[in-house]
Amino acid sequence: MNVGFMKGWLASRRFSRLLKVVIMSSPLVLSACNSHVSGGTALLEAEVIPPKEQVADFRIAQCEHLWQIDDRESMNNALYWLRAMDCAGRLTQFQAREEAEHVAGDSWDSVFKQGILLDNAGITQVERRQVLEQINLYRLAFPAALRPLMQTWRDRQTLFLALSDERLRYKRLQESSDKQLDVLRVQQNHLQYQLETTTQKLENLTDIERQLSSRKQLSGEMPDNDGDRRGSSGANSGSTNKDASRNSSTKESTRQ
């Protein structure tokens, strides 16, 4: 009986140990199952969620390859056009004009490219007006997201034209004013010459009048001197005659 009791006691003790091991290892088993289920769920979610669309960052795009891009996604991206304006500003006038000649110019995006390039090519006012006319023809075809940018660019070109017109008007006014000033200078010189000539003539006439007045004074004084001289000579001759008659009468009385 003691032997049976001992066997039962050992068996129950082994069972309790086994049960204890199972209880202690159950969290690890549950955790492993949970991680496996989570991994499977994440994998399913990754398969269900579509990948995010990648947008090109044109802020760092190479300028030399920028003008060949013409896909719709890039053309509808405002960053592309901002980068295009920046790259066009780095070209020389010759390079910008040459690059613009390679653009077809038969759609809103190609016309916009041409306009951006020619804006930095030192174009004339006539050419700038032609660029604006082309932009106006395709303005309704621009995507709605790009219309504010396009409108800002058009306003800038319009301001350039207005500024050029004002400069041209000022230049014409300046030329007209210079011509008027030249005419006034010629008139002033002519009037100055006439004034100097008239002044010289007046001075000459004044000298002549002075000379004539002096001569008149001299001619007026000459007759009075002659009369005095004649009167004095007549008195002297009369006294001489009287003395002579007295002397002759004295001589006659002496002879008698």
Burial of 163 (0-12, 13-18, 19+ CB in 10 A): exposed
- What does the longest C-alpha to C-alpha distance in the chain come to? 254
Nearest to 123 by CA among 135, 112, 114: 114
Per-residue pLDDT of the chain (256 residues; tens, 9 = 90+): 444 544 554 455 565 565 555 556 555 544 544 554 454 444 334 444 544 455 567 878 889 889 999 999 999 999 999 999 999 999 999 999 999 999 988 899 999 999 999 999 999 999 999 999 999 999 999 999 999 999 999 999 999 999 999 999 999 999 999 999 999 999 999 999 999 999 999 999 999 988 888 888 887 766 555 555 555 555 555 555 555 555 555 555 545 4
Q: Which amino acid is it at 200? A: Q
